[in-house]
Amino acid sequence: GVALVGIPAGICALGFTASGIAAGSVAAKMMSAAAIANSGGVAAGSTVAMLQSIGAAGFSLGAKIGLTSTLGPLGAAAGAKLF
């Protein structure tokens, strides 16, 4: 559950937002570097493109199910060891 909120929040904090990449952010620097490396464009499917998709729309249902099924048991195990 925390991953489904925390990961998108972290991505947004980097500057990948619903309204686009925030000026002066880490995301803007990543996009600039990707564009320079790709002769002026950001390649579809690249890390920058995927992070922007997550920032703009959040995770897909499949990604949420995958993260929940993977991270849920890990979180439970970590909690059991701590307490």
Question: Taking a C-beta distance cutoff of 8 angstroms, is the pair 11, 21 a contact?
Answer: no
Above 60 in pLDDT, residue 4?
no
pLDDT digits (tens, 9 = 90+) for 31-69: 898 888 888 888 888 888 888 887 777 655 566 556 556
Model confidence, pTM: 0.57
20, containing H or E segment: strand 20-21
- Identify which has the larger pLDDT, 77 or 21: 21
Cβ distance 11 to 55 under 8 Å? yes
Residue among 62, 80, 82 at smallest CA distance from 70:
62
Per-residue pLDDT, 18? 79
Q: How far apart are the first and last CA of the chain?
A: 19
